[in-house]
Structure 1
Amino acid sequence: MLKLYHNPISGNSRRVWIALLEKEIPFEEIVVKLDGDQLTPEFLEISPFHHIPVLVDDDFTLVESLAILDYLETEYSQNPLLPTEAKALATVRMVEMVTVNELSPILTRLSSEMMGFTKEPQKLEQAKQKAHTVLKFFESLLGERPYFSSNCLTRADIVAGTIVPWLPSLGLPLDNYPKLSAWIERLVQRETWQKTQPSQEALEAFIPQWETLMKAYLPQ
């Protein structure tokens, strides 16, 4: 059986977690506490960069969430999460890469400012402006469809959907993005989103670990 090493608070982990559930693939869930578990010799053997998630399939070990999603889509064909039509597939890839390369660092900056770990108004404003560029792009990509690139859920929705819904709680309201707001409502009603949504208790318990992680990963 597949083994998923992850932490429920991690957006990177959650996208793999949701994909496994959406594709109905049996797996064993192994929670890695980010207060030092990720630095143990045992964990470094399977994740030399001490990152989560990690997926182990018998003797094959994968790191990096997008690579894991590729593997799941190819190795486990049920309930596909990638379209086959060229434009739809390209749209999925665009959304994935924009989320990872542009939006994820912004989320880190907003989180750090919200929790008081950094106080850099200029960088905060730059991050918000960049976020609005991404949100306008996503709003235009959605068009009149319920999901990105398709009438059905794809990986684009999973990857972006583990980041975008957090933005209002970090001081970035989505009032000017009605299509994105409606898209979020559709996502959070799905059983897989509800099952993987971190509880308030889990979020509060994670706060003491967040400052250390921010010092290591916050974009300069």
Structure 2
Amino acid sequence: MAMKLYAHPFSSYCQKVLIALYENDILFEYRMLAPDDAQVTAELEALWPLKRFPVLVDDGRTVVESSIIIEHLGIHHPGQVRLIPEEARVALDVRMMDRFFDNYVMTPMQKIVFDSIRLAENRDRQGVAEAQGMLDTAYRWLDEAMAGREWAAGDAFSLADCAAAPALFYADWTHPIGETFTNVHAYRRRLLARLSFARAVDEARPYRPLFPLGAPDRD
């Protein structure tokens, strides 16, 4: 039975999973979600009533949440690139960085983006300011953490980098990374040069007009 991924190429969390799939050339059926495709949307809702994506269906099993999907792939479809290290203590560092990017970069970034599409009278100025402050703090911490590192958790590309790539990509569009954070900028460039993420970025290019804050030409 073919593995199916319910996703959209412009979604940050979908890109996180796509990177993992592309890193190890894992075959799957792309069930792309679109407003005009009621069938795929209905399939997603039947699988996961919360209707959040990505959702993976593998051999009849439904797997939700991007980090869990990547862990599932590592167990059931291992490849040359091990995104979760075998050594438990090293794996903890990878998982911590994964949560850092999801909770402290992706989440405040999305807060700002979602607020921008609200009616003006419903916008949350305080919430946006807090999200911007969280991003500035996250950039500062990450700049120190990345000193001397190639990838988020050390020398090997991992789950943490799958999370970092779309998080930093869209965060810099939303609330630019300060010029003084040279380690973060260099890391973001390395992520963009990684073939798996470059492919995900290219696949999403047709959808850039959907970004409510305006997508810059530099990426």
TM-score normalised by structure 1 residue count: 0.83
C-alpha distance 120-49 of structure 1, shift in aligned 2 (>3 A): closer
User: What is the aligned partner in structure 2 of residue 92 from structure 1?
Assistant: 94
Match of 1:52 in 2: 53
Going from structure 1 to structure 2, the CA distance change for 1:22 and 1:200 (only over 3 Å counts) comes to: closer
How far is the alpha carbon of 1:89 from its aligned partner?
Answer: 1.8
| Residue 116 of structure 2 corresponds to residue 111 of structure 1 | no
Unpaired segments ≥5 residues, structure 1: 208-220
Distance 1:139 1:87 in 2: 23
Q: Map of 1:1-220 to 2, 5 A cutoff?
A: 1-34=2-35, 37=38, 40-78=41-79, 79-114=81-116, 117=119, 119-197=123-201, 199-205=204-210
Task: Give the 3-state SS of the residue equivalent to 1:126 in structure 2.
Answer: helix
- 2:177–2:185 CA contact under 8 A, matched in 1: no
Q: How far 1:143 moved relative to its partner?
A: 2.5
Q: 1:183 to 1:149 in 2, by over 3 A?
A: same
Gaps of 5+ in 2: 213-219
Query: In structure 2, what residue type is equivalent to 1:8?
Result: P
Structure 1: which amino acid aligns with 2:56?
A: L
Paired with 2:41 and 2:27, the residues of 1 have a C-alpha distance of 27
Partner SS for 2:86: coil
Matched letter for residue 107 of structure 2 = P
How far 1:17 sits from its partner (Å)? 0.8
Change (3 A) 1:90 1:38: farther
Alpha-carbon shift at residue 94 of structure 1 (Å)? 1.1
Q: Would the aligned equivalents of 1:38 and 1:50 in 2 still touch at CA under 8 Å?
A: no
Between Structure 1 and Structure 2, how many residues are aligned? 207
| In structure 1, C-alpha distance between the alignment counterparts of 2:104 and 2:210, rounded to whole Å | 28
Q: Return the TM-score normalized by structure 2.
A: 0.83
Q: What percentage of residue pairs aligned between the two structures are identical?
A: 24
Counterpart-to-counterpart distance in 2, 1:117 and 1:36: 27
SS in 2 for 1:163: helix
Distance 2:38 2:183 in 1: 40
Tell me the distance in 2 between the aligned counterparts of 1:196 and 1:4.
Answer: 14
Q: 1:80 & 1:74 partners in 2: Cα distance?
A: 10
What is the RMSD computed on CA atoms of the aligned residues?
2.4
Report if aligned partners of 1:89, 1:149 keep a CA contact under 8 Å in 2. Answer: no
Q: Distance in 2 between the 1:107 and 1:25 partners? A: 29
Q: Deviations over 1:6-57 (max 9, x none)?
A: 0111111111111001022111111012578499543222122111111111
1:199–1:16: structure 2 CA closer, same or farther, 3 Å change rule? closer
Q: Which moved more, 1:99-108 or 1:112-121?
A: 112-121
* TM-aligned CA deviation for residue 105 of structure 1: 2.3
* Deviation (angstroms), 1:206: 6.5
